[in-house]
Structure 1
Amino acid sequence: MKTRLLACVVALSLAACASTGPTSVTDSNLPRAVGEGSTVNVQWADPAGFSELRYSQNRREASRGDWVVELADYMQEKIAKTVPAGDRVDVQILDITRAGEYEWMPHATTDDIRVMRDVYPPRMTLNFRHVDASGAVVAEGERKIADLAYLQTQPPFPASDPLRYDKRLIDTWVRREFRR
């Protein structure tokens, strides 16, 4: 009886671990594009090359989650709502540095707290191409976007959203780039 119970507990634990899904943005099971086949396509290379991971003081925490997919989904959704019907936009995310940084603190017992300071603004490097319904190129090129004053105003997202400053950076770029 005890052996069966132990076997069931082990099996359930393994099943729970297997079903939790990817926990790192560098996980090869995560998509590298969103919106394929739609009017707005956002793609990116391996996030291990992004500044967010390469220069982080805590790479383990910086790579946790699926924040690249979440930001790409958000970007795809915002652009799709902004561009005229029939237009097509292709975006390639070349680099991301999220707002804030994991700072090392002496005598601290945790290293998973993201500290927000003016010296850690959100930044992105994007390559994009906007084509209108007739096939004419409206705009294209590389954009390096940053919100250097990201702590000066409150973003229109809940404080519980860890990507609120990064999403506001996307909102600002979409508003400027795809004005009607």
Structure 2
Amino acid sequence: MKRMTGIHPCSLMALLVIGTAGGLAPVATASAAPSPAVAVGEPVPGARVTVNYVNPEEFSEVKEFGQQDRFNGTNYLEPLKTYLIERATKMLPAGDRLEVSITDIKLAGGYEPWHGAQLMHVRFMKDIYPPRMDLSFKLIGSNGEVLREGSRKLRNLGYLQSGAAARTTDSDPLRYDKALIDSWLRRGPENL
């Protein structure tokens, strides 16, 4: 637990125990409208961009390192999904929708546990570990007509030299993978 300024976590816990023992009930906050229940991975009704993962347990990254990146406990599926939705929404003309199904991901870099225990949790960025993403998409116009659809195998074999990740922060562990998404979306909806 992070330490809060002004009160020690143990003191906070003691106050909570005293408050509930004395018959005080926690204050509930009311929201203006209940949010609809949407399961993780399901499209949000009315969203302009939807992204779903098709058999993520079979992704190249999962097979090699585990779904949550077993070395660093990093969840990459949700951040990549959120990023793709944000970027694609900005690119789409008003009224158009984009449906993306991601069928494989291999993140940039790889682990080399043979370097020893001190480097076991370090993801090495080398040309032999390029980012990869396989997806299918459907671009739907405001009238409901399918404008474009297809499959793409996104790759950046020269990701370390391309400068493609320059727009993201150096501390973002997914910067090369996000740059892969950007390079696909930068073509615009007419060239997806």
* Alignment TM class, shorter chain as reference: 0.7 to 0.9
Q: Distance in 1 between matches of 2:60 and 2:106?
A: 6
The one-letter code of the counterpart of 1:61 is F
Structure 2 equivalent of residue 31 of structure 1:
40
Structure 1 equivalent of residue 175 of structure 2:
164
Q: Is the 8 A contact 1:96 1:125 kept in 2?
A: yes
Q: Distance in 2 between matches of 1:179 and 1:109?
A: 48
CA RMSD of aligned residues (A): 2.5
Matched residue SS, 1:61 = coil
Q: Is the 8 A contact 2:56 2:103 kept in 1?
A: no
The one-letter code of the counterpart of 1:150 is Y
Structure 2 equivalent of residue 122 of structure 1:
131
TM-score, normalisation: structure 1: 0.75
The number of residue pairs the alignment matches comes to 153
Question: Using a 3 Å threshold, how does the CA distance of structure 1 residues 144 and 101 change in structure 2: closer, same or farther?
Answer: same
Q: Which of these residues, 32, 39, 54, is aligned with residue 63 of structure 2?
A: 54
> Tell me, which stretches of 5 or more residues in structure 2 are unaligned?
1-9, 15-38
Structure 2 equivalent of residue 175 of structure 1:
186
Matched residue SS, 2:81 = helix
Q: Distance in 2 between matches of 1:82 and 1:68?
A: 21
Say whether residues 1:42 and 2:51 are aligned partners.
yes
Structure 1 residue 153, shift from structure 2 partner: 3.1
1:94-150 deviation digits (Å, cap 9, x = unpaired):
110000001122444341100000011100011110011122211111111111110
Structure 2 equivalent of residue 101 of structure 1:
110
Q: Distance in 2 between matches of 1:107 and 1:122?
A: 24
Larger deviation, residues 135-144 vs 71-80: 135-144
Say whether residues 1:150 and 2:159 are aligned partners.
yes
Structure 2 equivalent of residue 78 of structure 1:
87
Q: Distance in 1 between matches of 2:154 and 2:188?
A: 11
Matched residue SS, 2:118 = coil
Q: Distance in 2 between matches of 1:37 and 1:113?
A: 40
Q: Distance in 2 between matches of 1:85 and 1:105?
A: 51
Larger deviation, residues 97-106 vs 32-41: 32-41
Q: Distance in 1 between matches of 2:168 and 2:93?
A: 26
| Percent identity between the two aligned chains | 39
The one-letter code of the counterpart of 2:91 is T
